A and B are shown apart, each in its own frame.
Chain A
Amino acid sequence: MLIDCPHCGSRDLAEFSYQGDATRARPDLASTDTKAWLDYVYNRPNPAGRHREFWQHAGGCRAHLVVERDTLTHEILTVAFARDAAGGDAA
């Protein structure tokens, strides 16, 4: 699998590390809603298909990325710098 790093270009998967699901949004820090926190920390939808994920080009430019990947085909649909992309809390 190759990931097109927006800085480095096409690089081998081995240079990247997975940083987690980029679709979850953190509850308000003052929230005491146990279910909302449980969902945020532990529960993942684990979809068969398109998925937004955080990756880091750790063995390269070290930029944090948001990658859209198809979990069935491993096709990479989009790659963007995490700081420019809507992901996680910004989604």
Chain B
Amino acid sequence: MVERASPLGSDFRPGFHGDFAEGTGVTILEAIKGSIVEANAWPGEEKTLTENLSAICRLKLSAAPGSGAANREGTCAFNIGPGRFLLSGQDEALAGDLIAAIDETTGTVTDLSHGRTVFAIEGSQVEWVLAKLFALDFSLSAFPVHTGRATAHHDLFVQIQRRGEKRFELYVFRSFARAFAKTLRRASEDVGYTIR
């Protein structure tokens, strides 16, 4: 079988970096996903799509702006627009299952598994670091666990889901992943960061 290569290259070295004399404030890693999928409902089909996605992924999804969910198997999803969801999971078959299960009269399902890279960033200083890059409120009350935001860092679109009190996952175009990793590392330098 062909080895899966990371787009992050040799710059993204495991270890401690930046100002880590007092320990590191965040840990950054590439979150490896088996499937990454975007699903879009046709107008009026939002409820049907949400119910179908919930059933296939075993998640409790809602069409509310920014809402999201995750389950124990690591499947997670969040709303990124009107009738639009970004879903991912460890299971490589998930993308195919969703494409097969969502009727073409309900909406469209696009397999992005090879088109996105997901960064996980976690640690005590995670909100401080992300607030440097995005004009969003990262406090837990404004951005609760499992909810998500579709946003941008300059020209790079980024979809963000909060996966824990101090953990976020950031979805970026795979072709921009190496450049974005550099940005993320630069923003983490003052708090010190671990790459895992």
Contacts and interface: CB of A to CB of B under 8 A. Distances in A.
B65 A7 contact: yes
Interface stretch (B88-96, B124-132, B148-156, B173-181): B148-156
Interface string A69-85: 00000000000010100
A64 B191 CA distance: 39
Contacts of A11: 135, 151
Given A7-B65, A8-B66, A61 B135 contact: no
Contact of A8 (B43, B150, B154, B157): B150
Interface in B138-166: 149-152, 154, 157
Binding site secondary structure of chain B: strand
A56 to B, nearest CB: 11
Interface residues of B, number: 14
Interface string A27-46: 00000000000000000000
Interface in A1-28: 7-9, 11-12, 14-15
Interface in B71-85: 80-82, 84
29 contacts: A7-B65, A7-B81, A8-B149, A8-B150, A9-B65, A12-B135, A14-B135, A14-B152, A14-B154, A15-B135, A15-B152, A58-B152, A59-B150, A59-B151, A59-B152, A60-B81, A60-B150, A60-B151, A60-B152, A61-B65, A61-B80, A61-B82, A61-B84, A61-B150, A62-B81, A62-B84, A63-B81, A63-B82, A81-B82
